[in-house]
Amino acid sequence: MKETKIKIKGLNCYYQQKMVLKGCRGAFEENAITTIIGPSGVGKTTFLMVLNRLYELIPNCRVEGKVEIKLNGRYLDIHSLPLPALRKKMGMVFQVPNPLPMSIFKNVAFPLRLSGVKDRKYIKEKVKEVLKDAILWDEVKDRLEDSALNLSGGQQQRLCIARAMITQPDVLLLDEPTSSLDIEAALKIEELLEGLKERCTLIIVSHYADFTRRISDNVLTLKDGRFRNHGNSS
Amino acid sequence: MRPSIEKFAEKGFLLSALLSASITIFIFSFMFLFSLPLFKGGHIAQFLRLGWNPYDGKFGVLPMMVGTVIIASFAILIATPFGIGCSALISVFSQRNFGRFLRKLVEFMTGIPTVVYSFVAIFLLVPLVREIFQKGTGMCVLTASIMLALLILPTIVLFLTDAFNSVPKSYLNAAEALGATPVQKLIYVIIPSAWKGIISGLVLAAGRAVGDTMISLMIAGNALQIPKGLSDAARTLTAHIALIIASDYESPEFKSIFVCGLILFVFTMLIVLVLRLLGYFEILRER
Amino acid sequence: MNRLTEHGITLFAWITGIIVIGAIGVLLSFLLYKGIPALNPSMIFGETRPLDALLLKKAVVDGLFPAIAGTILLIITSIIWAIPIGVASGIYLAEYCNVRWKPLFNFLLDVLAGIPSILVGLFGFAISIFLHRHLSEHIYPCFLISSLALACLVLPYIIRTTEQSLTNLPFSIKTTGLALGASRLQNILFILIPYNLSSIISGIILAIGRCAEDTAVIMLTGVVAMAGIPTSVFSQYEAIPFYIFYISSDYNSQQELMQGFGASIILLGICAFLFTLSNILKRKVAIRFATHT
């Protein structure tokens, strides 16, 4: 049994007057794929947004409880970390791909630019590296300066994954990453996610039962504001 | 980015916002300050009375206030039916060709400077009105109201059109499915649903009508009297301010214009409050 | 409601539309009919040679050139004040403002937006009196005061468009940058503002149009009928809208009147162009948003 990367204890989340998460507890295994399933609207996306503190952008949304992430061997409360740093360690990929209105290269390199990295050679290498991990390099290597908005849905989603990976995050949060894609594109994404798990911990919210069975190490069901463990699904 | 740059930027943004908001406060303060000598002298009651005759020590701005109210009211009276008609045309009766052309024209009208309206009116409308009334110079309440109506029409039309278009599609579909004609949709569904937007548009237009200077300055005649009919010349508060500026600094009639300014400021505040009550600003922010 | 009333209402609507189009048509044709004959270089430069006038070698006394120059300089200086403060205020209100204070800010700015232009002019005038009494005897209403007052007039336009465009962004755009680890400022500068550039620029263009056409503010803060090109920010100056006003009440010859019509056409052309440009940009933005959740 591998180590725990993220520990959650007594997590309550209030959205407007409703309590979306109640006394939620959980442990997410390091370097493994954990999938969260559950009925529509139960709070799966909200949960992901708690992890990288994007919930703070939602009006009338409050959180209580403890969420800790293991960094450098120590468990740290996510609320004690500076936001930009936290989000570079916890990448997020959304349900609908959201490439920025820039070229493919600039999109993927964007997080490095935010960190103030100036070394052009380093940037070029890292972009190539993550695009290869995202199984997108061969398709775009000749048109890195084209607008990212011209890519197909599946390609855009792989671009977003590459972009999230460039800061070498410890955790990758994915909110129904394949639900807006066709089957072929979805399968490609599944393949690439499996390849990522040796480098980071993946937490995926998903609707599709097949998806969870195929690649997950652990499956959690979110119901009535809490997790119920289904154990290993392989 | 270094945290210090972040903090600095945030302070900079805050300062700008504070500066902008405080301009309003400054305007009020200056008007108040400059009016103070007149308040102290106990002349304030005099203001709301008749008779502007500096040589006699009379500074009543009542004629000007009446002038403003009458001209603005007539302008709204004229513009409202036209505004409703045009909006109905654009949103309901002719959503293709003619309506689209009309909308573009109205948008173009927002760009016509008031001084150009007045200038053309002097040579086109004034002689006409002079002919119709067979007396006076043609520069009177009627002329000013007509041009003012033309000026505020775009505000009314564009606002009403937006209000009509924001009626939920589900209501329109329901009416359509029940066999309603366009007119019935307009009267039974659209107007009742959009009444807040309609009133907001009219209030906004009223604000513009009261606040305009050039039209009343150039074609309303500027007479110091309470207008008793459409053919009478009149003076508005705004035109009055512009005219008095020409006299010298220390004279008491000079100080009276700041009271006029105060009146206009209070009027604006009232309009803003009414619009808030109507939820106008929520509508505007959603767009 | 019977058929007759229905037809009556429809007819009424059509009649209003036709009358409005007719009225504007008459207005424009009259303006063009009277003004186009006047449109020639001598209207702008008078008796001075164009090149001399443009290079400021000789003054133009009977042409529109000083007024045109005055208006252009006025627009430039006013928006130099208004743009930074306006955009920064809009950013603050959209991104940083505490919910408790927002209603107050909004109220004050809405009042500012609704204040009649003559009142803003009066404010500028009051400021010049204040400075005259307390700072220096030499300060009178002048170019500087006019441009500051005009900036106050158009500030609300810029603030409103900036703030609205930032708050109306779809949630996904607002969060993309942040999810990638951008700080608030980075998100604003690298993603939100570039994304909204069309809206913000359309607000600025609207402000420029307002500066070009306004007469009431400048009348009270330093514009005069004859001043030549302003030599310093403390000098008086000429402007196109004031010229039109002045000519209408005080023309000495048919030719001067024609110049008035010509000036009207120029002013109308400038303002119509700017307002149309602003609307086109706004529509472009609306289309782009239609494709986003």
Report pLDDT for B73: 93
Residue-by-residue DSSP string for chain A: ---EEEEEEEEEEEETTEEEEEEEEEEEETTSEEEEE-STTSSHHHHHHHHTTGGGGSTTEEEEEEEEEEETTEEEEGGGS-HHHHHHHEEEE-SS----SSBHHHHHHHHHHHTT---HHHHHHHHHHHHHHTT-HHHHTT-TTSBGGGS-HHHHHHHHHHHHHTT--SEEEEESTTTTS-HHHHHHHHHHHHHHTTTSEEEEE-S-HHHHHHH-SEEEEEETTEEEEEEE--
Q: Cβ C180–A83 below 8 Å, yes or no?
A: no
Minimal CA separation from C71 to chain B, in Å? 14
Angle between helices C240-249 and B114-133 (to 10 degrees): 20
Predicted confidence band of residue B15 (pLDDT cuts 50, 70, 90)? very high
Answer yes or no: do A94 and C182 touch at CB < 8 A.
no
Question: Could you report the per-residue pLDDT of B172-203, keeping only the tens digit for each?
Answer: 888 877 777 888 888 888 888 888 888 888 98
Q: What's the number of domains chain A is made of?
A: 1
Distance from CA of A9 to the nearest CA of C (A): 23
Higher pLDDT, C194 or B254: C194
Kindly state whether residue C99 falls inside one of the protein's structural domains.
Answer: yes
Question: Residue A192 belongs to a domain with what CATH number?
Answer: 3.40.50.300
Alpha-carbon distance B154 to B209, whole Å? Answer: 12
In a domain? residue C182: yes
Q: Do C122 and B258 touch (CB under 8 A)?
A: yes
CA C229/CA C57 separation, integer angstroms: 11
Q: Which residues of B touch C130 (CB under 8 A)?
A: 30
Number of independent structural domains in chain C:
1
Residue A125 has pLDDT above 60, yes or no: yes
Structure tokens at B142: 């009627």
Over residues C69-106, the pLDDT tens digits come to 889 989 999 999 999 999 999 999 988 888 888 889 98
Q: Distance between CA atoms of C224 and C237, rounded to whole angstroms?
A: 6
Residue C58 — φ and ψ, nearest 5°?
-130, 150
Mean pLDDT of B225-231: 79
Contact call for residues B153 and B79 (beta carbons, < 8 A) = yes
Task: Report pLDDT for A126.
Answer: 93
* B144: closest CA of chain C, how far (Å): 15
A111 touches chain C (CB under 8 A): yes
pLDDT reported for residue C133:
82
| Contact by Cβ (8 Å): A138, A94 | no
**pLDDT for residue B259 is more than 50:** yes
- Closest residue of chain C to A53, computed from CA coordinates: C179
Which has the higher per-residue pLDDT, C138 or C271? C271
**Domain enclosing residue A57, as ranges:** 4-232
Question: To the nearest whole angstrom, how far is the Cα of C179 from the nearest Cα of chain B?
Answer: 16
In whole angstroms, give the CA distance from residue A222 to residue A210: 17
Give the range among A72-81, A190-199, B133-142, C162-171 with minimum mean pLDDT.
B133-142
pLDDT for B51 equals: 52
What residue ranges do the domains of chain B occupy? 62-286
Is C11 inside a domain boundary?
A: no
Task: Please indicate, yes or no, if residue C19 is contained in any of the structural domains.
Answer: no
| Residue A55: C-alpha distances to residues A87, A91, B51 (Å) | 13, 15, 65
Q: Do C26 and B124 touch (CB under 8 A)?
A: yes
Q: Is residue C85 included in any domain, yes or no?
A: yes
Whether residues C180 and A87 touch (CB distance < 8 A) is answered with yes
- Mean pLDDT value across residues A207-229: 77
**Which of 3.40.50.720, 1.10.3720.10, 1.10.540.10, 3.40.190.10 is the CATH number of B62-286?**
1.10.3720.10
Given a cut of 90, is residue C252 above it in pLDDT? Answer: no
Q: Is pLDDT at A223 greater than 70 in this prediction?
A: yes
Averaged over B8-14, what is the pLDDT? 92
Chain centroid to Cα A110, Å, comes to: 17
Torsion, Cα of B226, B230, B236, B242 (10° steps) = -120
Measured between CB atoms, does B20 come within 8 Å of chain C?
Answer: yes
Q: What's residue A211's pLDDT?
A: 64
| Cβ pair C123:B30 closer than 8 A | yes
B104 — phi, psi (to 5°)?
-65, -40
**pLDDT band at residue B16 under the 50/70/90 scheme:** very high
Judge whether residue A14 has pLDDT over 50.
yes
The predicted pLDDT at position B194 comes to 84
CATH number for the domain that contains residue C155: 1.10.3720.10
Is residue B234 helix, strand or coil? strand
Could you tell me which chain A residue has the CA closest to the CA of C176?
A: A98
Whole-number pLDDT of residue C292 = 47
Quote the mean pLDDT of chain B. 83
pLDDT > 70 in chain C, percent: 94
ipTM associated with this complex: 0.84
C100's enclosing H/E stretch is none
Question: Residue B67 above 70 pLDDT?
Answer: yes
A95 at C interface, C-beta within 8 A: no
| pLDDT attached to residue B71 | 92
A208 interfaces chain C, CB cutoff of 8 Å: no
User: Greatest CA separation found in chain A?
Assistant: 52
Whole-Å CA distances, C121 to B93, B113, C141, C147: 43, 17, 10, 11
Query: Which among A162, A150, A32, A41 is positioned nearest to A107, based on CA atoms?
Result: A162
Q: Is B77 on the interface with C (CB under 8 A)?
A: no
Contact flag B118-C248 (C-beta cutoff 8 Å): yes
Which residues on C lie below 8 Å from B93 (Cβ)?
10, 13-14
Q: Which residues in C lie closer than 8 A to residue B285 (C-beta atoms)?
A: 164, 167
Question: How confident is the model over C153-199, as pLDDT tens digits?
Answer: 999 989 988 998 888 888 888 888 888 888 888 899 888 988 888 88
Distance from CA of A31 to the nearest CA of C (A): 21
